[in-house]
Chains A and B, each alone.
Chain A
């Protein structure tokens, strides 16, 4: 028998420290839905998603009840639609997005990811059509998430795609201007995108994945923060050990839920993603963990080192707790989705440049950052290029999810509600990069034998 204090500790983690399973994401391959006739392809896509995910939400709910652990989201990721839709002669893939939206509504998931294209080396016809369709697709649908991979360590950075994505983000912001440009919250530009990420908005089901798979993303910033409160003033060795132990416990719950979901749904278990994912709720913040280590505010000197330690210790603790670890696995720093980050951005402690530095040592990137609506597409492309370069050179995933909020300027605020949260508009370096972005072409893949 275990000790009663262990039982009470678990319950307090769930009740007071907001330990939860952030998402059970079912990955579904759509490669067998490709068809020369777009209409027919969409029928196959709808039918397959609804068939595979029919019991996903109910199973998640039952596991939640029986184990007493909240499972916040049940979601679906699919094969990048550019690959599937590319077989058709359609000149626009918005209809494919609507089909995904309809299927998601039918099975009751709150997001479906995979309106995506992988163009790190170049475009296929399907990629071209898909990327052009992104703004309209995100404006017309509720649950569809889109991502585009523009660079990788093996291939370098596709600067034509970087240039285009700046425009796509601006256009998406414009088309969803009435809702604080929320379309951009569902659009991620990646470098080194992973194929088994369960977290939105960047989830898609990679081509190396099986037909159907269950991936689970854990959470638990509140639990780590609480554990660190017990070691005030202690050296970093103690801090790192404490985070490792806590991450181990959090991940074990993720592993349990993943195996149980996999067993009940008769779908193979893929991975547990060890990410610490914050929410806008008080007590569920990554920024507050960093501050607990001794920083006056997130963004102060020392923040990058604190985040590096946190990110590494979470992985070390989590790896042993799960049979298969994957996805993004690290600490997320989405500004609008983290109460402490929001505060830090409001008080001016946290700048875009500091966030960029922080992305060098954690997953994933410049995430959920609201910038002035009049920021030029070229400047957005410049930010994407910088972030992609960090990922490509350092052999890690990086991403950009910026919201150029139409009609808003520095000091204003955007409010998306729910888990997407709210964010102050952050200032962007006003110097231009137009001529740099207009060059186009590809930045070659980096050499990695001389790592200085």
Chain B
């Protein structure tokens, strides 16, 4: 099952490290990453596979929420279908 993680916030050291650490610890496989910095603003979109994850979706979301508040970022994880349904026929 695929999900989309989006990370937005002021650029700083270790954003990718801290986010992927949570993912690796919970057996979430990263399939694709795109990352840019626009006027000091960090934007990352990741496609991940959560089928091996030991956590329920909501628990994983909570872990990412914790990282988000520690790092002062916005981190969102959503099922891929919402993007599929809006942008594909």
Contact = CB atoms under 8 A, between A and B. Distances in A.
Chain B interface: which size bin?
Answer: 20 to 34
A1 B47 contact: yes
A65 B61 contact: yes
B34 interface: yes
Contact of A67 (B6, B58, B78, B87): B78
A10 B76 contact: no
A194 B79 CA distance: 33
Interface in A175-215: none
A67 B81 contact: yes
A385 interface: no
Nearest to A252: B85
B81 A7 contact: no
Given A65-B61, A256-B81, A8 B87 contact: no
A255 B88 CA distance: 13
A253 interface: yes
Given A1-B32, A62-B58, A65-B58, A252 B86 contact: yes
Nearest to B32: A1
Interface string B28-64: 0000101000000001010100000000011001000
A69 interface: yes
A120 B66 CA distance: 57
A230 interface: no
Nearest to B62: A65
Contacts, number: 54
Nearest to A69: B82
Interface centre among B43, B61, B76, B87 (most CB of A within 10 A): B87
B82 A68 contact: yes
Contacts of A65: 57-58, 61
Interface centre among B4, B34, B81, B86 (most CB of A within 10 A): B86
Interface string A68-103: 110000000000000000000000000000000000
Contacts of B25: none
Interface string A239-268: 000000000010011011000000000000
B58 A4 contact: no
Nearest to B86: A249
B87 A10 contact: yes
Contact of A8 (B32, B45, B61): B45
A55 B11 CA distance: 41
A11 interface: yes
Interface residues of A, number: 21
Nearest to A61: B58
Given A1-B47, A4-B45, A68-B78, A10 B57 contact: no
Contact of B79 (A2, A11, A67, A252): A67
Interface of A: 1-4, 6-11, 62, 65-69, 249, 252-253, 255-256
B40 to A, nearest CB: 17
Contacts of B83: 2, 6-7, 10
A65 B6 CA distance: 14
A66 B45 contact: no
A67 B82 contact: yes
Given A2-B83, A4-B45, A6-B83, A66 B88 contact: no
A10 B82 CA distance: 9
Contact of B34 (A4, A11, A62, A255): A4
Nearest to B80: A2
Nearest to A321: B85
Nearest to A65: B58
Given A10-B87, A68-B77, A253-B82, 5 more contacts: A2-B84, A3-B87, A7-B6, A253-B85, A256-B85
18 contacts: A1-B32, A2-B87, A2-B88, A4-B45, A7-B6, A7-B45, A10-B82, A10-B83, A10-B86, A10-B87, A62-B58, A67-B79, A68-B76, A252-B86, A253-B82, A253-B85, A256-B81, A256-B85
Contacts of A2: 83-84, 87-88
Interface centre among B58, B61, B82 (most CB of A within 10 A): B82
A223 to B, nearest CB: 11
A62 B57 CA distance: 9
- Nearest 7 A-B pairs (CB), nearest first? A68-B78, A6-B87, A252-B85, A256-B85, A67-B82, A249-B86, A4-B34
